[in-house]
Structure 1
């Protein structure tokens, strides 16, 4: 690089032209690699990023956003995490969100939503001042009506994931939960089971309602109406499953198969019944839902439904960006992705 080519660097201001000269690429390719990295191949993207790092180039995000009329930032809204274990489902969804946003040149800002007026004021500030282009919901709006109302009247593009919010006007990307639980019921019927238990989550939570209703309706369609009893679980954690197992062992005419609303409940339940001297699956078969990695390594390993968590995050982000750019249907879309039946030792 000659003296005439280093003028901007010598003045302390690295430009796209400097990166283009160093890499031997044309200016438009360099610009695209930095602003829309998903639109160039991996080798070119890495070559440009290495050169930018070597020269100390820093993208002026504020200027770029102003010139395009977009913040190129998405807000992900999730429940407050204080005092809670972060679930693998949540981390997988966020992994998908991050991957898709990065591929399309967007940043991601996470906003947790405890019942806190100060935090809601932060959300209002972000929305009203154009600091985010759209919002991705990882929460049911019914649990957080204030931010839900704010988003509804803001005109900000909004897409929901994990929870179906189409009735509120928000496009939604979810898993085919009911279809998955019907697959579990059929699997257990083939294994000869006729008395069932459903280990529920927090009462009234939409996932719990959908899954329990699907089990009862499918058993009724198979001529086994009334063959499923509800076992109260509680929070989606192992301790709640273990407590449910203690109650289960005292039942007369116990179910021979238990469908848990989540993997964590199922794993805690298995631990509890085995501590009481029952065998899984010989005395009671157990299934879960989510497809958490550690279900493969429990003893016995857990039969479950694997939901496409990362793909839900990716597709929700893709749909949101389309809406931020004024593309896609004006009507709220409902996208339900299939679950995968994973057969293991617990059934």
Structure 2
């Protein structure tokens, strides 16, 4: 509880009864607002939070991570993440979990597609202010000019699945480098020494997966030239199929490659199809591994070994970061970069390699 001064100068604890009296609402309404256990009208919610803030209750409870201090958040997303389809399982899993957590806390999410003239920091900030949003969440966006423009506007904002190299905005990402290193190290321990990493020239989050791939070779004392890269035109399955098909023709087959590690499950699905079309059996001829842990990988033949990303935890973590920034009321609060741990899901698409145990 917070504290307030009494008539004789002493302090006493502030409770929900004090907030109820100050805001002119019932105690149960105060409880619902503070704990995010029911949907309350924006006007009443604002009145309760303002009363709690004036009485010193808000900062005290927020220090214990036990209060919801937001009522509206602008959700800025690329337009291709909004229509649900087979290509954006990752984004939709993140959005679904974010929506459920926002509903549980009584927070209104306002979608804002980033396209055309709306694809600028100025447009995003103006939209947030128009909606009286307490914060902004940007999904799959980390363009420098956008980040700098929003950071300079003084609005609480968090990047989900994006990286701010200038560290001006808070961000939540998977442990991309760690996860890729974990996956590659596991392949090496299975006896694979010549591994092909299929990726695409994407944002910084994707480049980190390539970094982790190389890290594992260095950590195991293996030649860096054995960590080979193949760049597809994008992450869509048909582009993975095209990339591996062209690579097989150019190299007259697999050569010494015994395993392929793809930077996304979507890419891996296309690579598997391309290999099978070319007559290769997975995993007896070649092992394949993905990254993301999206549902279709369970149902491929063979089922896809992959790195599972905690997609359902990214949205709630972003909400928590925004709440911390809003309630801290400090302009000089350092940005927080939160990386969530990933884990391996071992299925049927990887077989032991020819080298046996780990070289270490």
TM-score under structure 2 normalisation? 0.75
1:37 and 1:102 in contact (8 A); partners too? no
Name which of 303, 306, 314 aligns with 2:305: 303
1:218 — aligned with what? 216
* TM alignment of 1:263-342, pairs within 5 A: 263-326=265-328, 330-342=333-345
- In structure 2, what is the Cα distance between the partners aligned to 1:71 and 1:304? 36
Question: Which digits, 9 at most, give the CA deviation of each residue in 1:63-100, with x for residues without a partner?
Answer: 65477568720111111228984511111211222233
1:134 and 1:320 in contact (8 A); partners too? yes
The 10-residue stretch of structure 1 (316-325 or 269-278) with the greater mean CA deviation from structure 2: 316-325
The 10-residue stretch of structure 1 (133-142 or 277-286) with the greater mean CA deviation from structure 2: 133-142
Report the 3-state secondary structure (helix = DSSP H, G, I; strand = E; otherwise coil) of the residue aligned with 1:200.
strand
* TM alignment of 1:59-78, pairs within 5 A: 60-62=41-43, 64-65=45-46, 68=49, 72-78=71-77
1:93 and 1:314 in contact (8 A); partners too? no
In the superposition, relative to structure 1, how do residues 125 and 164 fare at CA in structure 2: closer, same or farther (>3 Å)? closer
2:172 — aligned with what? 173
Question: Which digits, 9 at most, give the CA deviation of each residue in 1:197-228, with x for residues without a partner?
Answer: 01012x15213311112112321232222102
1:37 and 1:105 in contact (8 A); partners too? no
1:256 — aligned with what? 258
Question: Which digits, 9 at most, give the CA deviation of each residue in 1:143-202, with x for residues without a partner?
Answer: 6x2x4343122111111121222624111111111111122112212222111101012x
Q: CA deviation at 1:270?
A: 0.3
1:92 matched to 2:96? The reply is: no
1:158 — aligned with what? 157
Report the 3-state secondary structure (helix = DSSP H, G, I; strand = E; otherwise coil) of the residue aligned with 1:167.
coil
- In structure 2, what is the Cα distance between the partners aligned to 1:231 and 1:306? 22
Q: CA deviation at 1:137?
A: 1.6
Report the 3-state secondary structure (helix = DSSP H, G, I; strand = E; otherwise coil) of the residue aligned with 1:199.
strand
2:176 and 2:209 in contact (8 A); partners too? yes
**Which structure 1 segments of 5+ residues have no match?**
1-25, 50-58
Report the 3-state secondary structure (helix = DSSP H, G, I; strand = E; otherwise coil) of the residue aligned with 2:158.
strand
1:194 matched to 2:193? The reply is: yes
- In structure 2, what is the Cα distance between the partners aligned to 1:284 and 1:174? 30
1:140 and 1:165 in contact (8 A); partners too? no
The 10-residue stretch of structure 1 (266-275 or 90-99) with the greater mean CA deviation from structure 2: 90-99
2:121 and 2:149 in contact (8 A); partners too? no
1:346 — aligned with what? 349
- In structure 2, what is the Cα distance between the partners aligned to 1:206 and 1:82? 18
1:138 — aligned with what? 139
2:72 and 2:131 in contact (8 A); partners too? no
2:75 and 2:111 in contact (8 A); partners too? yes
Aligned residues: 301
In the superposition, relative to structure 1, how do residues 171 and 197 fare at CA in structure 2: closer, same or farther (>3 Å)? same
Report the 3-state secondary structure (helix = DSSP H, G, I; strand = E; otherwise coil) of the residue aligned with 2:221.
coil
TM-score under structure 1 normalisation? 0.78
- In structure 2, what is the Cα distance between the partners aligned to 1:254 and 1:99? 47
1:148 matched to 2:147? The reply is: yes
* TM alignment of 1:101-140, pairs within 5 A: 101-117=102-118, 122-129=123-130, 131-140=132-141
The 10-residue stretch of structure 1 (248-257 or 337-346) with the greater mean CA deviation from structure 2: 248-257
2:161 and 2:205 in contact (8 A); partners too? no
